[in-house]
Amino acid sequence: MSSNSKNITQTLMVETPAIPGKLGKVATAIGLAGGDIGEVATVQFGPTWTMRNITVHCIDEEQFEQVLASIEALQSEGIKLHGISDQVLRAHEGGKIHMQRRVDIRSLSDLRQVYTPGVANVCQVIQEDPEKARIYTSIGNTVAIVTDGTAILGLGDIGPVAGMPVMEGKSVLFNQLVGISGVPILLDTKDPEEIIRTVKNIAPTFGGILLEDIGSPHCFEIEERLKEELSIPVMHDDQHGTAVVTLAATITASKSVNMDLKSAKVGQIGLGAAGLAIAKMLMAYGVEQVYGVDKSQEAKERLTSIGGHSLDSIEELMETCDIIIATTGVPGLIRKEWVRSGQVILALSNPKPEIEPEVALEAGAAFAADGRSVNNILGFPGIFRGALNAQAKDITHKMLVAAAEAIAATTKNGNLVPHPLDPNVHEAVTKAVEEVATQLNNNIR
27, burial (CB in 10 Å: exposed 0-12, middle 13-18, buried 19+):
middle
> Interhelix angle for 397-409 vs 380-389, to 10°?
120
Name, in order, each residue with C-beta under 8 angstroms of 9's C-beta and a sequence gap of 6 or more: 38, 55, 56, 57, 58, 86, 87, 88
CA distance 297 to 26: 47
Burial (CB count within 10 angstroms: exposed 0-12, middle 13-18, buried 19+), residue 2: middle
How many angstroms separate the CA atoms of 158 and 162, rounded? 6
Residue 31 contacts residue 67 (beta carbons within 8 Å) = no
Best CA proximity match to 197, nearest among 228, 223, 217, 226:
226
Secondary structure letter of residue 402 according to DSSP: H
Phi-psi region of 33 (alpha: psi -120 to 50; beta: other; left: phi over 0): alpha
CA distance 407 to 426: 8
d(CA 212, CA 242): 11
Cα–Cα distance for residue pair 118/403, rounded to 1 Å: 42
In residues, how long is the chain? 445
| CA–CA dist 47, 318 (Å, integer) | 57
Assign 341 to helix, strand or coil. coil
Active site residues: 115, 170
List residues bridging with 54 in a β-sheet: 12, 40
The span from the CA of 207 to the CA of 212, in Å, is 16
Secondary structure letter of residue 337 according to DSSP: G
Cβ(257)–Cβ(367) below 8 Å: yes
Q: Which residues pair with 430 in a beta bridge?
A: none
* Sheet containing strand 8-17, strands side by side: 36-45, 49-58, 8-17, 80-85
Rounded CA gap, 349 and 95, in Å? 28
User: 344 forms bridges with which residues in the sheet?
Assistant: 323, 367
Q: Are strands 265-269 and 289-293 parallel, antiparallel or unpaired?
A: parallel
